[in-house]
Amino acid sequence: MSKHSIMRLAAALVAVSALGACAEDHGELISWMQEVRNTTQPIRTTVPEPKHFPPFRYAAEEEIDPFSRKKLAAAFERLLDSPRNGVAPDMQRAREILENFPLEQIQMVGHIRNTRTNAALLQVDNVVYQATVGSHAGQNHGRITSIKENEVVLTELVLDAAGDWTRRESSLRLQETQQ
């Protein structure tokens, strides 16, 4: 017999004797459990009747769903139609070409002045446009209010945090060319 087989046989004998010891003490455990059952009183609480809620019938199928994008669009339209502080852009006005670009992309590259005209030369993507006082530029409803030799001043209309239109002054300065 090998050493490994002897070790297995010894482990099996220890396990069988341990299980035999557990089987002898079963009667004491059963009597303790019976005693606990006899002395412990069950907890008896009654569950209250459930509250009766009358059924609610939703009868506003024809109205706008409060969680839809339509409701948000309708609220935004009302906001645009009724300015609280009297300042609002004209949404019905035809947009000018320079209103398609952000003000950061527009550069002043020149100035033209004669007896009838005072105009700024504004460049976007290598195309030069002529703008006068009253012309619109930028995506924030900017209107040119003043043209000088080296600067164009605009008044923009932007929405503030409260949803009101406010005026903001911006300017475009003449870009110096390097030769």
- Residue 46 binned pLDDT confidence (cut-offs 50, 70, 90): confident
Amino acid at 149: E
Amino acid at 115: T
Model pLDDT, residue 169 = 93
Look at residue 93 and tell me whether its pLDDT is greater than 70: yes
pTM of the entire structure? 0.51
Does residue 21 or residue 166 have the better pLDDT? 166
Tokens 């339209």 belong to 77
As a whole number, mean pLDDT of residues 33-44 equals 87
As a whole number, mean pLDDT of residues 140-155 equals 92
Are 174 and 106 in contact by the 8 Å Cβ rule? The answer is no
- Residue 161 binned pLDDT confidence (cut-offs 50, 70, 90): confident
Look at residue 142 and tell me whether its pLDDT is greater than 70: yes
What length does the chain have?
179
Share of residues in the chain with pLDDT > 90 (%): 26
CATH class of 94-173: mainly beta
Sign of the dihedral through C-alpha 60, 61, 66, 71:
negative
Token representation of residue 89: 């852009």
